Structure 1
């Protein structure tokens, strides 16, 4: 069996689930018996998102912040050995991962590069992932899969990339802040653009509302008072939505890579420590706009988002440079490469 261990919530968002889902869909295409693949989730909410994508899942009924507390549940669920696990959680501990080793091989999605975990392989697909740092942490005892070659982007984005054409004018702007957004950052950005930075311009705003967003009613109320705001909930064709826009505002995460495959110019920001590395790197490389750290300076970051959007709306040449720079970042085959790693591990077991 191939097991994917991930959760999502209003606090952590849906990123862990979605990137694992992307890899799982690729793996299903490769293995002889697709039914030998299953997600493990602590709670019902995470399971419902996966089930909406027709993905098999077992609910552990445990605390997603206490992975060691679920080990007894796993003992009763997982039979035998020779299994392969892909774990994607900031709640992992050495003891938890060592316990999983009793059942088979363990691989970890990691983007913090701060600790050497007891796993068979570690995967950090971020552009800023440091090979030197991982060699220092793990030595040669653990397989290391690092860098843009492993970004797990869904196939829909690769297919849509050929269709995306940079337009002369900006008529549609996408705003996406992840699956949770408990602080209603999306709403704050929307107000900044609609009422201040881009007030009076003929622009339609597309706001992605994630499954775990607790501010949905508040956003629906605001959208009902405007004639140029469209809410998009439980989006399946994200590539189609992105290609309909000429600009995007996004928090750090996999969405940045999805926009980059297409070439949609965007401004990004972080609202958690684990997002700082990627967003800052993009800003320093002048590949995209960088607005700052919302979790430290929200007002300053909000205004920087507005300023960048106003500037780039009036500067097609800047959008052209951004478009060209983004399209060179990744090839879109990362999910297939991770799926191959897992498949090979399963064969060897």
Structure 2
């Protein structure tokens, strides 16, 4: 049995749960049993009845450390040598050290804040090289999975890519499952103020935790804007996209795999390092941090759309830089390493 401890809510992006689901699918494919351990009801909704899960009771759990005894009871009642995959930024070295007393521990780590006493560490971001992982974990019995070969994309992305069109017609706009900065709303308002919907068709992915759905529906009425609430095959949709606009999250890896010229923005502290990776060598175009009004990110995004539209050669060069960066088999590689522990 492999347990996965993760969550998603209005404060925590859905990307954590979604990449865990992708890895869980591969583990099950290889004959492993998987069970999620969660606290938030939003996480249960994302699991969509496809996976077993156990709810941690919120009563009497004041800190993350209070839940460890409960997790120990859960995993030891089901298996003598359990493995636990962690995917939340709140889990620190102390939490992981306590888990290590009764389980093998796997965790993502793209922050490099402290030494983590775990068995398997994953950082698939292109900027991982700015940190000395090999130095920190030298002579430690910890397996490191570093680089974009470990990007856990859904299977639908493995064999697809978008098609280049000289004229820009279809533009994708997405911010993630939630959107506490109301980034989509800010960008859409700027697009409409400049009447850009008269020239382009905007495909807007509204995350399931987004609070602005009703506003989007009013704005999209009589506009060349299509709203999507639940896209089952994102790769298929991306095949028709000429330019993507996204927050600096998991979607950037999907855009890279699909070879879509992409404009991206930052909306959280943990995304700041992502800028270093995807913004390097103009792999993608960075529009700024949307949390800061003085950066005028929505206006910058519309300027970059016009720039890419007028410069087909620039888009072709971006596509060429994306080729072969990601092969879509990262989740499979991670699953195999977890099984080998």
Query: Partners of 1:308 and 1:189 in 2: how far apart?
Result: 12
Instruction: Determine the structure 2 residue equivalent to 1:204.
Output: 201
Instruction: Determine the structure 2 residue equivalent to 1:334.
Output: 330
Query: Partners of 1:284 and 1:83 in 2: how far apart?
Result: 40
**Partners of 1:158 and 1:262 within 8 A in 2:** no
Query: Partners of 2:62 and 2:238 in 1: how far apart?
Result: 33
**Partners of 1:51 and 1:57 within 8 A in 2:** no
* Compared CA separation, residues 340 and 304, structure 1 to 2 (3 A): same
Q: How does the TM-score come out when normalised to structure 1? A: 0.91
Query: Partners of 1:168 and 1:104 in 2: how far apart?
Result: 54
Identify which of 313, 316, 319 aligns with 1:320: 316
Secondary structure (helix, strand or coil) at the match of 2:104 reads: strand
- Two-structure CA RMSD over aligned residues (Å): 1.9
Secondary structure (helix, strand or coil) at the match of 1:47 reads: helix
Query: Partners of 1:278 and 1:254 in 2: how far apart?
Result: 10
Q: Deviations over 1:79-123 (max 9, x none)?
A: 243111110111102232122223321011111112111111211
Query: Partners of 1:218 and 1:96 in 2: how far apart?
Result: 41
Query: Partners of 1:114 and 1:136 in 2: how far apart?
Result: 14
Q: Deviations over 1:159-182 (max 9, x none)?
A: 222xx2111211111101011102
Query: Partners of 1:243 and 1:81 in 2: how far apart?
Result: 46
Larger deviation, residues 335-344 vs 214-223 = 214-223
Instruction: State the 1:219 CA deviation.
Output: 1.7
Instruction: Determine the structure 1 residue equivalent to 2:73.
Output: 76
Query: Partners of 1:331 and 1:322 in 2: how far apart?
Result: 17
Q: State yes or no: 1:43 paired with 2:40.
A: yes
Instruction: Determine the structure 2 residue equivalent to 1:174.
Output: 172
Instruction: State the 1:282 CA deviation.
Output: 2.2
Which runs of structure 2 are paired with 1:42-191 in the superposition (5 Å)? Answer: 42-51=39-48, 54-62=50-58, 66-78=63-75, 79=77, 80-130=79-129, 133-141=132-140, 142-161=142-161, 164-191=162-189
* Compared CA separation, residues 125 and 298, structure 1 to 2 (3 A): farther
Query: Partners of 1:302 and 1:83 in 2: how far apart?
Result: 47
Query: Partners of 1:45 and 1:298 in 2: how far apart?
Result: 33
Secondary structure (helix, strand or coil) at the match of 1:160 reads: coil
Query: Partners of 1:298 and 1:55 in 2: how far apart?
Result: 44
Q: How does the TM-score come out when normalised to structure 2? A: 0.93
Where do 5+ consecutive residues of structure 2 fail to align? Answer: none
Where do 5+ consecutive residues of structure 1 fail to align? Answer: none
**Partners of 2:288 and 2:295 within 8 A in 1:** no
Query: Partners of 1:8 and 1:132 in 2: how far apart?
Result: 27
The list of structure 1 runs, each at least 4 consecutive aligned residues, that deviate by more than 6 angstroms after superposition, is none
Q: Deviations over 1:114-172 (max 9, x none)?
A: 211111121111011027611233223122111111111111112222xx211121111
Instruction: Determine the structure 2 residue equivalent to 1:236.
Output: 232
Query: Partners of 2:217 and 2:174 in 1: how far apart?
Result: 15
Secondary structure (helix, strand or coil) at the match of 1:255 reads: helix
Query: Partners of 2:325 and 2:62 in 1: how far apart?
Result: 33
**Partners of 2:181 and 2:267 within 8 A in 1:** no
